[in-house]
Amino acid sequence: MQIFLAHSFSGHGEVLLSPEESKHCVKVLRHKVGHVIDIIDGIGNFYIAELTVADPKQCVARIISQRAVGVKKPYYLHIAISPTKNADRIEWLIEKGTELGVDEFSFVICKRTEKTGTKIERFRKIAESAVKQSIQGVIPKINDGITIKDFIAKEKGSKGKKYIAHCLPIKKTDLKNILNEKEILVLIGPEGDFTEEEIALAQMNGFEALSLGETRLRTETAGLIVAAGFKACV
């Protein structure tokens, strides 16, 4: 099942595809005027539409029917994570995390972060592709990278529960004990973990210590464990 992402909507019951989606529709999949295609809008809606213009630069389709995609999740999951030295690992997390229903990704630059650059537009394309592949309706929000200090300050007044997953041997909440929360932010550090100062700053600003198990996990694996835990409880 090939799904297209809507670029915009006209006021006449029509949906327009982006040049990239239009080219794929016409040149790769060989769709023509009169063909019926499946479209999502990225915010939760699914459309069945008939192509009225099959142009590789701009396809236009007339909406036949509309419905919400799937069942609304009972939680909102925000994963804030330090970029890894190997960008492929974060790209993998975005793809798999999106399939598992992560609602928002943020990238935090810590003292031990090895690579501070983030290719946000590429990350967003990966998320869009994962949403279409998994037949979901909502594209996760992907935020630009900022320092951990600025991120903590930005989230200070946010609603919901906030957690920081780290390796220091202190009392922590187990992941299984937070899976019934409705709005959750989980902060995950670099391969060398957060510094004690970063952990202290987070905890002074409302973040609770979180355990993801007894073994030490790679950064991207930790993110996936969190996403899979919540997904399994839906």
pLDDT, averaged across the chain: 93
With cut-offs at 50, 70 and 90, classify the pLDDT of residue 70. low
* pLDDT, tens only, 107-120: 999 999 988 777 89
225 or 10, which is more confident?
225
- Measured CA to CA, the distance from residue 14 to residue 8 in angstroms comes to 9
Same domain membership, residue 123 and residue 63: no
CATH number for the domain that contains residue 205: 3.40.1280.10
Give the lowest-confidence range in 18-27, 100-109, 115-124, 208-217: 115-124
Over 80: is that where the pLDDT of 234 sits? no
Q: Could you tell me the pLDDT band of residue 12, with boundaries at 50, 70 and 90?
A: confident
**Which pLDDT score is estimated for 71?**
65
**Domain co-membership, 119 together with 218:** yes
Q: What is the pLDDT of residue 72?
A: 77
Count how many domains the chain has. Answer: 2
The answer to whether residues 59 and 123 belong to one domain is: no
Share of the chain above pLDDT 70, in %: 99
CB 50 within 8 A of CB 36: yes
Mean pLDDT of 110-131: 91
Q: What is the pLDDT of residue 95?
A: 97
Both tokens of residue 151? 């991120």
pLDDT of residue 68: 78
3 HSE (CA, 13 A, CB side): 19
> The CATH number of the domain where 10 resides is what?
2.40.240.20
Question: Do 82 and 120 belong together in one domain?
Answer: yes
Q: Which two tokens stand for residue 199?
A: 């952990």
Question: Using H for helix, E for strand and C for coil, what is the string for the chain?
Answer: CCEEEEEEECCCCEEEECHHHHHHHHHHCCCCCCCEEEEECCECEEEEEEEEECCCCCCEEEEEEEEECCCCCCCEEEEEECCCCCHHHHHHHHHHHHHCCCCEEEEEECCCCCCCCCCHHHHHHHHHHHHHHCCCCECCEECCCEEHHHHHHHCCCCCCEEEEECCCCCCCEEHHHCCCCCEEEEEECCCCCCCHHHHHHHHHCCEEEEECCCCCCCHHHHHHHHHHHHHHCC
Phi, psi of 101 (to 5 degrees): 100, 20
Note the pLDDT of residue 9. 92
Q: For residue 83, give the amino acid letter.
A: P
Boundaries of domain holding 203 = 76-232
DSSP string, 75-107: -EEEEEEPPPSSHHHHHHHHHHHHHTT--EEEE
Report the pLDDT averaged over residues 133-148: 92
* Residues 165-195: tens digit of each pLDDT: 998 988 899 999 999 999 999 999 998 899 9
CA distance 183 to 76: 5
